[in-house]
Structure 1
């Protein structure tokens, strides 16, 4: 019995010793793997068309991270920092063996300027690049109260569809704090739509423009559609206003 117990004790000691040796060997292997000079990141591959974010800007964000080495680089943190760049819409960072970091990037596609201080994408996402970037873009200018950008964008799309047959574009669209809509077209005409039945009133303008207003030799300053069945037309050359009723 004593011999059996002694044998069992030696087995336990052996397994403990073997476990300790394996543990330290693993630690040593891990230390060896995570040494940056042994497994450096040798190449960064950027995928994506960057029209507004410079290579220098991307380099300034990525370089501090790759110094950690292939196994130690924090891809999640790098991804978050890339997304902080105002033009970046999506960022995906992953390691590719051996020694390569692949960075997939895509930019926002701006469709309008919001309140002269931000840009808006087709998904009505607001982002705020430098004002110099905003001012350099020839985009429709949308204005409205804070938090109403999605409503204004949806109305913009509806109006664009309505006037598509006129071959005109919206230059500005404004929603006032009291809920009144007005816009300016690419031919300089300002249209006052009021607060109710906006698209119905706009259709009235489309019909009148196709039938008569587009043939006018006098430049039109504005069209006021805040009437039940008609509109007022103001001419740019003088103060005369014509009332057109259906």
Structure 2
């Protein structure tokens, strides 16, 4: 019995041909075998870092992106912007990155008319200087003026001498004097004569001077009660004799004394 031999076609699949090629490539270049994904990720990290480092080194040179524009902002009624120029100029011979903002702000605030200063960087090369100007509300004896926070400031507004009151205490009590003055204004809001001076002596006794020249001795205590008594007594007894009065002394329990001219 004859048997026919069948030809069996065997298909061989080449496995790992690509990996073999990679191995040969790394071998030819004498490189260690690595995962390409790691190489890609490392490249994406390293290149940006190198760019940042290069930019950092470039911006650390003062001549690069040097400040070209300076804008001074603020509601300035008394401060001349030109007086700030010699203060700012030495600091801005650099770029915004290297600018010593804190030192410049402190230097600007040495100007007696500046209450506070803040700096804002506007990239690439503009600097905005915002000024909060002092707001003097009264003269402080003969030693300058006082602002709304009771801080004595070394400024002067001679043209306002007849418009703003004068406050003074021999002690460091600017804030307390301002607060007390506000209270007095409230207590005497309906009184027809303005207060031009409010002073405290070494004993802590209050003395007022009115716009007509009259002096009012208030004393060290019961301020509101005594001033109320004065207002009532003025409207009932003194209103027609104002020009003859030198001083009214309120330092009495149930009344006041009048010193006539």
Does the TM-score normalized on the shorter chain lie above 0.5?
A: yes
Match of 1:29 in 2: 55
Match of 2:76 in 1: 50
In structure 2, runs of 5+ residues without a counterpart are 1-26, 35-40
65, 70, 75: which one aligns with 1:39: 65
Tell me how far apart the structure 1 counterparts of residues 121 and 203 of structure 2 sit (CA, whole Å).
Answer: 53
TM-score with structure 2 length normalisation? 0.75
Return the offset for 1:52: 2.3
Kindly tell me: are residues 186 and 83 of structure 1, through their superposed partners in 2, closer, same or farther at Cα, counting changes over 3 Å? same
Aligned match of 2:166: 141
For residues 142-166 of structure 1, the C-alpha deviation after alignment (integer angstroms, 9 at most, x for no partner) is 1213222222222211111222212
Q: Which runs of 5+ in 1 are unaligned?
A: 9-14, 237-246
Counterpart position of 1:74 = 100
**When you count strand as a share of all residues, which structure comes out higher?**
1
* Distance in 2 between residues matched to 1:159 and 1:225, nearest whole Å: 15
Counterpart in the other structure of 2:20: none
* Equivalent of residue 118 in structure 1, options 131, 139, 144: 144
User: 4+ residue runs of structure 1 moved beyond 6 angstroms?
Assistant: 18-24
Provide closer, same or farther for how the CA distance between residues 154 and 25 of structure 1 changes in structure 2, counting only shifts above 3 A: closer
What is the aligned counterpart of 2:119 among 80, 93, 98? 93
Aligned mates of 2:101, 2:121 — CA distance in 1: 8
Is 1:159 aligned to 2:160, yes or no?
no
Q: Of the two, which has the highest radius of gyration?
A: 2
TM-score scaled by length of structure 1 = 0.80
Question: Which deviates further from its counterpart, 26-35 or 201-210?
Answer: 26-35
Question: Aligned partners of 2:241 and 2:152: how far apart in 1?
Answer: 41
Note closer, same or farther for the CA distance 1:29–1:169 as it changes in structure 2 (3 Å cut). Answer: same
Q: CA RMSD in A?
A: 3.1
Task: Tell me if structure 1 keeps the 8 A contact 2:139–2:167.
Answer: yes
Q: Which moved more, 1:38-47 or 1:24-33?
A: 24-33
Q: Cα offset for 1:104?
A: 1.1
Aligned length: 230
Task: Tell me the residue number matched to 1:226.
Answer: 251
Q: Secondary structure at the match of 2:124?
A: coil
- In structure 1, C-alpha distance between the alignment counterparts of 2:52 and 2:218, rounded to whole Å: 74
Indicate if the aligned counterparts of 2:91 and 2:100 stay in contact, CA closer than 8 A. yes
Greater shift in the superposed pair: 194-203 or 148-157: 148-157
For residues 200-229 of structure 1, give each alpha carbon's deviation from its aligned partner in whole angstroms, at most 9, with x where no partner exists. 111111011122312226431110111111
Contact 2:206–2:218 (Cα < 8 Å) also in 1? yes
